[in-house]
Amino acid sequence: MAVLQIHRWAPPCRGTVPRAGHATRGAIGPGTADRLDPAGAGPAGLSSGARPRPARSGRVKTRRSLGPARRAIRPGEAGRAPGRGVPRARRPARPGLSRTGFVACEPPASGRCWLLAPPRYGHGPRRTLSSAAAESQDRKALTREGHVRSILGLFAKSPFGPLAEHTQRVHDTVVLIRPMMEAFLEGDWTRTQEIYERISRLEHDADVIKNDIRDHLPKSLFLPVDRGDVLLFLREQDRVADAAEDLGVLLTMRRTPTPPAMKRVVLDLVDSVIRTSEAWFEAAAELPTLQEASFAGAEVDKMMERIKRVSDLEWEADQRQATASKVLFEHEEEIGAVSVMMWMNILRVLGAVANHAENSADMLRLMMARR
């Protein structure tokens, strides 16, 4: 029976790694005999008294007994044969992406890490980002995109062009009031219904433009006037088209008889309402030009004159509405109470068209007064 003789040699310095097959100072663990030289020359591949070779990488903690070779695999060591040497690498301080690849660690108390994916230096698998690193990059990209969007939002498209387009749609509904009222007074119910449907479609188009303006008028947009004043102007302007549509609903709801004496005064009221709308349209259509002048200068004086004319025409419409109401009550016994009630609502909505046109012009005056 051969006797194994092991020569004790100086322990490796701190931060060094013994050569493959060398024993360290201390007890001999199981499985050592297969790795020792029975001739007594010490560990396989090393003569007695040989000095250990310094490690090429960072500090590695050695085991105090020889046994089944188990220790933390250093970065870059995965996939290499035992005893071939370990490439130079830096051990990361924490799990995640590092210069040596993606590293997974045991609980912090152990301080042991394994290299899962070595870096790609012209060969080997491609380095992949950890989920935390990928999320961080995504957040940075979204932040940059948000900053760019915020800056561009400050100089977004001006709302005054769409406002002028909305003004045109609203005025188109008011212009159709005259032929619709003529058909109603003549008892042509089919034509009255057709014109009402045209007014309803135009009012819907105006609503679409209105909603688009509201959706694209952010608080951060640079405007020469107050943002709230623009929204108030848009609301009053849209109510002009709403009143024209309400008038069509009343005229098509019931075949209401008309006293002969009322036909002339009603048409006079309609003409006065349309003139008020035309004056308002001339003022509101100049909004893009007024914006180019920054709501200052000679353009403001012209706008003030147009607004005053709208107010005067609305007052005339109120006077004609009062005259038509008096004529109606003079013939209430001829048409009955229900017809009188219907005519009162018709006259009221006709007056509302002119009232909202004047209110919209007043919003223009408010925009310029706050400059």
β-strand partners of 104: 114
pLDDT of residue 133: 63
Q: Determine the average pLDDT of the residues in 351-364.
A: 93
pLDDT of residue 182: 95
The fold of the 159-369 domain, in CATH, is Methane Monooxygenase Hydroxylase; Chain G, domain 1 (1.20.58)
Sorted by where each begins, the domain ranges of the chain are: 73-79+91-155, 159-369
Report which DSSP code applies to 297: T
Q: What is the dihedral of CA 300, 303, 304, 309, to 10 degrees?
A: 170
Higher-confidence residue of 187 and 29: namely: 187
- The larger pLDDT score, comparing residue 42 to residue 164, is at 164
* Per-residue pLDDT reduced to its tens digit, 249-289: 999 999 999 999 999 999 999 999 999 999 999 988 888 77
Where residue 347 falls among pLDDT bands split at 50, 70, 90?
Answer: very high
pLDDT value at residue 72: 52
Asked if the model's pLDDT at residue 359 lies above 50, the reply is: yes
Query: Which pLDDT score, from 0 to 100, does residue 54 have?
Result: 52
User: Residue 314: pLDDT above 90?
Assistant: yes
pLDDT over 60 at 203, yes or no: yes
Which DSSP state fits 101? E
First to last CA, the chain: 111
The two tokens of residue 87 are 């490439």
What is the rounded average pLDDT for all residues in the chain? 72
* Mean pLDDT value across residues 89-97: 47
Express as a percent the part of the chain with pLDDT over 90: 38
Q: Return the pLDDT at 285.
A: 84
Q: Calculate the alpha carbon distances from 45 to 22, 35, 65, 202, 255 in Å.
A: 8, 10, 19, 98, 117
Query: What beta strand segments (E) does the chain contain?
Result: 96-98, 101-105, 113-117
Higher pLDDT, 211 or 217: 211
CA distances from 182 to 321, 328, 345, 360 (A): 17, 17, 17, 27
Q: 232 or 222: which carries more pLDDT confidence? A: 232
- The whole-number average pLDDT for the span 209-225 is 76
Residue 234 confidence (pLDDT) above 50:
yes
Q: Interhelix angle for 298-330 vs 337-369, to 10°?
A: 170
Confidence of residue 221 (pLDDT cuts 50, 70, 90): low
Is the pLDDT reported for residue 323 higher than 90? yes
What is the reported pLDDT for 300? 81
To 5 degrees, how large is the angle CA 55–CA 60–CA 63? 115
**228 falls in which pLDDT band (50, 70, 90)?**
confident
Q: Can you give the pLDDT at residue 267?
A: 95
63-82 mean pLDDT: 49
CA distance 302 to 77: 85
pLDDT for 225 equals 74
Give the per-residue pLDDT at 289: 79
pLDDT in tens, 288-304: 777 776 766 777 888 88
pLDDT of residue 265: 95
d(CA 251, CA 342): 9
* Helix (H) or strand (E) run with residue 369 in it: helix 337-369
Per-residue pLDDT for 356 more than 80?
yes
Tokens of 364: 């223009």
pLDDT of res. 296: 67
Region 82-105: what's the mean pLDDT? 47
Closest CA to 208 of 162, 244, 277, 146: 162
